[in-house]
């Protein structure tokens, strides 16, 4: 049986002078453009510019030719000195291009607090981090966020107003850094399965520890209520992770679909901003409830944290029970 020969799609990258050597967001413009054209479907890149050393292996073969060399027949002509629609001519344009690029690094299905507040801090932090050595990876940012979150839980367990207020602020810092690691990964094309698992699992660990710590600090029945809230959330998380891993072999919790979402292909479909369910789910999204918990801690009402955690746990456990009941009934009635 004969198989068709794969069609080669060539991207011809050309530039003026040495503009392709400018560094934007931790990568040279050329490295970034090669990855962009590869993502757009190119299978080979021909670069009409002076050769430069590439910091990492590229996703497609790269061939350097002398400046002024005509483009191969059928090649798609691209500029190697344009990023985020900005032509690189000097430091001012490089800075403008870098910020325009970073502004595109948010998730398309981000929560309301991330969209309105957190990005104003996270993207500026990400911009600073991206200018550092490539040795600083998104996983390092995640580990830093974990340490901040654990410190917040330790302070929350003290139970005093000052300690709890600082704990709430630190938990919000943890949430902002939680955006930074994803932004940095997308900006530098530094994705990994380890990073995905580390990012998602650390959020659950920090949030549940915080609930337990708040309850411990309040004492009495609140200790048990905090543990119950954390336990319900933990049960939900484990169930969702097991389901997602069974289906996708990844730790992408956004791949989980409730029975009424089985027709949703992507997370963008699930979190459609026009859908009422998206706004209702916002109260259970991490950026939103962490912000609410911070306000409660600073206002001197840590009881709200436990109450909100219990509501989230009760809703999630109820949805999971309904979810598996529906699927069990479907299997029982299927021919």
The string of DSSP codes covering 66-124 is -TTPPPPTTPEEEESSEETTEE--SHHHHHHHHHHHHTT-S-TT--HHIIIIIHHHHHH
Q: Report pLDDT for 55.
A: 82
Can you state the angle between helices 303-333 and 286-298, rounded to 10 degrees? 160
Q: Are 243 and 323 within 8 A, CB to CB? A: no
Q: Report pLDDT for 3.
A: 46
Collapsed DSSP state (helix, strand, coil) of residue 137:
coil
Kindly report the number of other CB atoms within 10 A of residue 259's CB atom.
Answer: 14
Closest by Cα among 257, 288, 268 to 171: 288
State the Cα–Cα distance between residues 167 and 268, nearest whole angstrom: 32
Per residue of the chain (335 residues), what is the pLDDT tens digit?
444 445 689 999 998 888 888 889 989 999 999 999 999 999 999 999 999 988 889 999 999 999 999 999 999 999 999 999 999 989 999 999 999 999 999 887 888 999 999 999 999 999 999 876 667 889 999 999 999 999 999 999 999 999 999 999 999 999 999 999 999 999 999 888 888 888 889 999 999 999 999 999 999 999 999 999 999 999 999 999 998 999 888 888 888 888 888 788 888 888 887 777 777 777 788 999 999 999 999 999 999 999 999 999 999 999 999 988 887 777 777 66
Q: Are 139 and 195 within 8 A, CB to CB? A: yes
Q: How far is CA 39 from CA 60, 94, 124, 192, 330, in A?
A: 10, 22, 26, 17, 39
State the Cα–Cα distance between residues 29 and 20, nearest whole angstrom: 5
State the Cα–Cα distance between residues 227 and 309, nearest whole angstrom: 10
Collapsed DSSP state (helix, strand, coil) of residue 83:
strand
Q: Where are any strands of DSSP class E within 92-244?
A: none
Q: Report pLDDT for 331.
A: 74
Q: Provide the β-strand partners of residue 23.
A: 28
Q: Are 257 and 326 within 8 A, CB to CB? A: no
State the Cα–Cα distance between residues 46 and 67, nearest whole angstrom: 11
Q: Provide the β-strand partners of residue 79.
A: 14
Q: Which sequence spans correspond to the domains of the chain? A: 10-102, 112-330
Q: Are 64 and 49 within 8 A, CB to CB? A: yes
Helix (H) / strand (E) containing 209: helix 193-218
What's the CATH fold of domain 112-330?
1.20.120
Rg (CA), the chain: 24
Question: H helices then E strands: how many in the chain?
Answer: 12, 8
Q: Report pLDDT for 82.
A: 92
């Amino acid at each position: 049986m004969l198989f068709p020969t794969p069609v080669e799609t060539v991207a011809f990258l050309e530039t003026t002078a040495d503009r392709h050597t400018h560094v934007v967001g931790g990568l040279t413009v050329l490295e970034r453009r090669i990855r962009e054209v590869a993502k757009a479907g190119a299978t080979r890149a021909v670069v009409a510019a002076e050769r430069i050393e590439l910091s990492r292996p590229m996703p497609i073969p790269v061939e350097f030719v002398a400046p002024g060399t005509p483009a191969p027949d059928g090649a798609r002509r691209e500029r190697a000195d344009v990023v985020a629609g900005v032509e690189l001519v000097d430091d001012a344009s490089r800075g403008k291009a870098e910020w325009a690029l970073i502004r595109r690094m948010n998730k398309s299905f981000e929560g309301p607090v991330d969209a309105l507040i957190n990005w104003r801090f996270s993207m500026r932090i990400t911009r600073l981090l991206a200018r550092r050595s490539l040795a600083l990876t998104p996983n390092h940012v995640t580990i830093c966020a974990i340490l901040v979150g654990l410190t917040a839980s330790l302070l929350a367990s003290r139970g005093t107003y000052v300690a709890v207020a600082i704990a709430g602020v630190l938990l919000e810092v943890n949430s902002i850094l939680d955006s930074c690691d994803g932004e940095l990964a997308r900006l530098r094309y530094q994705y990994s399965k380890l990073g995905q698992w580390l990012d998602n699992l650390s959020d659950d660990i920090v949030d549940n520890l915080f609930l337990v710590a708040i309850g411990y600090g309040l004492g009495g029945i609140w200790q048990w209520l905090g543990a119950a809230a954390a336990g319900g959330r933990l049960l939900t998380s484990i169930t969702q992770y097991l389901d997602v891993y069974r289906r996708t072999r990844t730790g992408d919790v956004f791949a989980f679909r409730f029975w009424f979402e089985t027709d949703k292909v992507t997370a963008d479909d699930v979190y459609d901003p026009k859908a009422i369910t998206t706004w209702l789910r916002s109260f259970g999204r991490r950026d939103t409830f962490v912000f609410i918990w911070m306000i409660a801690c600073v206002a001197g009402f840590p009881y709200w944290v436990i109450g909100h955690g219990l509501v989230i746990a009760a809703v999630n456990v109820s949805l999971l029970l309904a979810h598996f009941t529906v699927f069990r009934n479907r299997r029982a009635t299927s021919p």
